[in-house]
Amino acid sequence: MTRSLAKHTGLILLALIMLYPVIWMVVSSLRPNDEIFRSPGIVLDSLQTGNYGEGWNALSAPFSHFLINSAIVVLGCIIGNLVSCSMAAYAFARLEFTGKKLWFAIMLGTIMLPIHVIIVPQYILFSQLGWINTFLPLIVPKLLATDAFFVFLMVQFIRGLPRELDEAARIDGAGHPRIFLQVILPLMLPALATTTIFTFIWTWNDFFSQLIYLTDPEMYTVPVALRSFVDATVATSWGSMFAMSVVSLLPIFLAFLIGQRYLIKGIATTGIK
C-alpha cells in the first residue's frame, strides 16, 4: 500500500512538473502585462480577462480569421492523408507489382529525411506554379501520400487483417477497388482515426512550412499569427499573446480528448501485428 501510494504521488508530481509551463501560460493570460514576468508563480494577484478581448482583435483581422485558415489547411491535410495513404497502404499490403519491396524500402527511407532538406526545391517548384501565398503547397502534397509514417502505419494494420476476407470478396466477383472500399476500409477505422488525430495535431502546430509559404497576413494560420504578436520594434503584448495561445490549444485538447480511445486502439492494434 505504501509503495503504491509513493508511486502514484511521484507520478502526480512528475505530471505537475510537465504541465507547469501550460498552467503558467494559462495563468499569465489572466495577468496584467506588466506582472507576467515578475514571478514564475501560478498564483493570481489580480484577474485580467481583457487580454482575451484585446488579443482577439489585436492583429489585422480578428483571431477567428486565422482559426478558420488553420481549419481549412487541417481539413485538407486530413482528407489528403486519409485518401492517399490508405490507397498506397492497400497497394503495398495486398497488391503484387514489380519492385514492391524496393519501393517500400524507399518509402520507409523518406521517414528519416528532414523537411529542411527538401524545402528549397519544393519552394522553387511551388513558386514556379504560382502557389506561394496560397494553401496549395500545404495541402496538395498530402494528396500524394507523402507522409510515409501513415502509409507504414496502415500497411501494418492491413497486413494483420485475414486474407480470407479478400478471397471471399473475390469469389463474389469483387475487384480490388470494391475489396478496398467495402472490405478493408471499414475495418481500418482505428488506423484511420490515428492518422486523423496525428495529422490534425501536427498540421495545427506546424509553424515552419506555413511561415515559408504564407507571407500575406490575410493567409496566416494560427502559429504564424501568434508569431505576429512578437515585434522587435514595439512592446510585445505578452498577455494577449498568451491568451490567444490558450485559445489555439483548445482545438488540440478537444481533438485528443474525443479521439484518445481510437488513438490508443489504433497504435496498440498496429503495434502487435
Q: pLDDT per residue over 107-146, tens digit each? A: 988 888 888 888 999 999 999 999 999 999 999 999 999 9
- What is the model's pLDDT at position 234? 60
- Rounded CA separation 138/69 (Å): 12
Q: Does residue 268 register a pLDDT over 90?
A: no
Q: pLDDT-based confidence at 19, cuts 50/70/90?
A: confident
Average pLDDT, rounded, for the chain: 87
Q: Does residue 243 register a pLDDT over 50?
A: yes
- What is the model's pLDDT at position 29? 87
DSSP state, residue 135: S
Return left, alpha or beta for 133; rule: phi > 0 is left, psi -120 to 50 is alpha, else beta: left
- What is the model's pLDDT at position 273? 45
Contacts of 24 (CB under 8 A, 6+ apart): 40, 42
CA angle, 28 then 23 then 262, to 5°:
135
Name the 3-class secondary structure at 131. Answer: coil
- Rounded CA separation 90/177 (Å): 10
Residue-wise pLDDT for 138-152, tens only, equals 999 999 999 999 999
- Rounded CA separation 80/73 (Å): 10
- What is the model's pLDDT at position 67? 95
DSSP state, residue 181: I
- Burial (CB count within 10 angstroms: exposed 0-12, middle 13-18, buried 19+), residue 51: buried
